[in-house]
């Protein structure tokens, strides 16, 4: 049947009909008073979502563009930075920092495992002459479904005194509480196609006063991603370059929906969906890739090993049920599959996906579970929430 595709991946995520309708509206001039009103509303809404009074700037870019902007606007060539790497996106920030001539020290963890905050503490405490200028951390590592302990790492950065904390919150912002002002986070990047519930196309960067001080002496090359002009224009409810106007229509709608739901309810929903999904996978006797204590509320990764072929699972789910799951990346391509429960996802979506997964597993000859066990486990979590 046409038009029944169900996205259960960590981005792009499902888009609510209200936002789709907004996208279909006729564009307006981006230098008009009407657009400025929308700009003012979404900027205020973004600050609410980010739990900050800092600038939250909007770029026409993906989450990668937002993070690149966050890295290059506040550092100088040769600056020493620590970069956490326990997945594809941590690896990407290492590559970006190296591309701009930064002196990168990598703190690594095995894929599927969280970063060890104590390794950051040791490096930061040993830096008595304060040569470390930034610490770059992926909060929710999309490639593995691991949620890193940002709060603890950030506490060690704050004790250092000099270093900025730069955060990839692309799949965590809007899915888990990230109190930017309370924690004193300096640079936080995210993207529209995740918990914001709209298509790819917009990147967001939150910037602290401390980061703006560093901006004054930063010397890395930038033009389109120079955040200074974005800040000046945002103060006048406009943008330095032509924005995707209809994406702002959609963002206006999605932020209104999020505000109506409320921050705590949003975070509770994501936590509940994560818990239900993980309970279902355990009931199906399939190994989870990330440990319970470091599980991302945005995505659950399954590592079936020899029990069943991960790519066959994805193929049958798509062909038979029109449900799209994400695959593994790099060394784990073909070895894991990832179930997204991020953004515009509800209890019914989880139950549908798990029921389809049970059917898929049976069709592939995997029988190490009682029929219905996954659905029952998920339903028990969802109905008790």
d(CA 248, CA 266): 21
Structure confidence at residue 2 as a pLDDT band (50, 70, 90): confident
pLDDT in the model for residue 246: 98
pLDDT in the model for residue 227: 98
CA 65 vs. chain centroid, Å, equals 13
Q: How many structural domains does the chain have?
A: 2
Residue 370: its H or E element: none
Q: Is residue 196 domain-resident?
A: yes
Residue 147, exposed/middle/buried by CB under 10 A (0-12, 13-18, 19+)? buried
Q: Is residue 357 domain-resident?
A: yes
Q: Do 87 and 114 have their domain in common?
A: yes
Return the ∠ at Cα 288 (arms to 284 and 290), rounded to 5°: 160
pLDDT in the model for residue 79: 98
Average pLDDT of the residues in 264-288: 98
Q: What three-state secondary structure class fits 222? A: coil
Q: Do 269 and 211 have their domain in common?
A: no
| In the predicted structure, residue 1 carries a pLDDT above the cut 80 | no
CB atoms closer than 10 angstroms to residue 220? 18
pLDDT in the model for residue 385: 79
pLDDT in the model for residue 125: 98
309 to each of 17, 94, 270, 327, how far by Cα in Å? 35, 31, 28, 11
Spatial strand order of the sheet with 337-340 comes to 6-8, 323-327, 337-340, 299-302
Q: Is residue 8 domain-resident?
A: no
- Give residue-wise pLDDT tens across range 191-224: 999 999 999 999 999 999 999 999 999 999 999 9
272 to each of 93, 122, 175, 298, 301, how far by Cα in Å? 30, 35, 11, 11, 16
pLDDT in the model for residue 3: 82
pLDDT in the model for residue 126: 98
Return the ∠ at Cα 315 (arms to 173 and 366), rounded to 5°: 100
d(CA 200, CA 10): 12
Q: Domain ends where: 211, 228, 260? A: 260
- Give residue-wise pLDDT tens across range 48-78: 999 999 999 999 999 999 999 999 999 999 9
DSSP annotation of 146 reads E
Q: Do 183 and 239 have their domain in common?
A: yes
Structure confidence at residue 26 as a pLDDT band (50, 70, 90): very high
Residue 168, exposed/middle/buried by CB under 10 A (0-12, 13-18, 19+)? buried
The CATH number covering residue 197 comes to 3.40.640.10
d(CA 60, CA 211): 21
Q: Domain ends where: 260, 293, 327? A: 260
Q: Is residue 55 domain-resident?
A: yes
Q: Is residue 24 domain-resident?
A: yes
Q: Domain ends where: 225, 240, 260? A: 260
- Give residue-wise pLDDT tens across range 103-159: 999 999 999 999 999 999 999 999 999 999 999 999 999 999 999 999 999 999 999
Least confident of 291-295, 360-364, 381-385: 381-385
Q: Is the peptide bond before 12 cis (omega within 30 degrees of 0)?
A: yes
The string of DSSP letters for 61-119 reads S-HHHHHHHHHHTS--TT-EEEEEESSHHHHHHHHHHHHTT-EEEEEE--TTS---HHH
Q: Give the range of the structural domain holding residue 322, as residue numbers without chain letter.
A: 263-384
Closest CA to 247 of 86, 27, 2: 27
CA 80 vs. chain centroid, Å, equals 25
Q: Is residue 250 domain-resident?
A: yes
Q: Would you say 56 and 204 are in contact if contact means Cβ atoms under 8 Å apart? A: yes
Average pLDDT of the residues in 346-374: 98
Q: Is residue 12 domain-resident?
A: no
The CATH number covering residue 330 comes to 3.90.1150.10
d(CA 108, CA 90): 9
Q: Do 241 and 142 have their domain in common?
A: yes
Q: Do 248 and 277 have their domain in common?
A: no
């Amino acid at each position: 049947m046409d038009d029944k595709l169900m996205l259960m991946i960590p981005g792009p995520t499902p888009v609510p009909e209200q936002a789709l309708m907004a996208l279909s509206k006729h564009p307006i001039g981006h230098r008009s008073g009407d657009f400025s009103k929308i700009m003012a509303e979404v900027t205020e809404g973004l600050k609410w979502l980010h739990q900050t009074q800092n600038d939250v700037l909007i770029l026409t870019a993906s989450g990668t563009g937002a993070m690149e902007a966050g890295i290059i606007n506040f550092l100088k060539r040769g600056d020493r930075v620590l970069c956490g790497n326990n997945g594809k996106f941590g690896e990407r920030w290492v590559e970006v920092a190296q591309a701009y001539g930064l002196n990168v020290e990598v703190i690594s963890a095995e894929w599927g495992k969280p970063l060890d905050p104590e390794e950051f503490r040791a490096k930061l405490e040993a830096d008595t002459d304060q040569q470390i200028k930034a610490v770059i951390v992926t909060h929710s590592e999309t490639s593995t479904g691991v949620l890193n302990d940002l709060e603890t790492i950030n506490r060690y950065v704050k004790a250092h005194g000099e270093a900025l904390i730069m955060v990839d919150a692309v799949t965590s912002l809007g899915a888990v509480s990230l109190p930017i002002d309370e924690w004193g986070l300096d640079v936080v990047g995210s993207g529209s196609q995740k918990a914001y519930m709209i298509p790819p196309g917009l990147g967001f960067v939150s910037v602290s006063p401390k980061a703006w001080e560093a901006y004054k002496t930063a010397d890395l090359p930038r033009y389109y991603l120079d955040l200074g002009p974005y800040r000046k224009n945002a103060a006048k409810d406009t943008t330095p370059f032509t924005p995707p106007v209809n994406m702002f229509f959609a963002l206006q709608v999605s932020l209104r929906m999020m505000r109506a739901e409320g921050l705590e309810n949003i975070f509770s929903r994501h936590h509940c969906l994560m818990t239900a999904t993980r309970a279902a996978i355990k009931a199906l006797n399939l190994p989870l890739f990330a440990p319970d204590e470091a599980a991302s509320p945005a995505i659950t990764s399954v590592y079936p090993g020899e029990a069943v072929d991960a790519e066959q699972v994805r193929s049958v789910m798509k062909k038979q049920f029109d449900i799209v799951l994400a695959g593994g990346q790099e060394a784990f391509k073909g070895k894991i599959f990832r179930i997204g429960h991020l953004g515009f996802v509800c209890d019914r979506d989880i139950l549908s996906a798990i029921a389809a997964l049970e059917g898929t597993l049976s069709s592939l000859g995997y029988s190490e579970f009682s029929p219905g066990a996954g659905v029952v486990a998920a339903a028990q979590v969802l109905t008790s929430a």
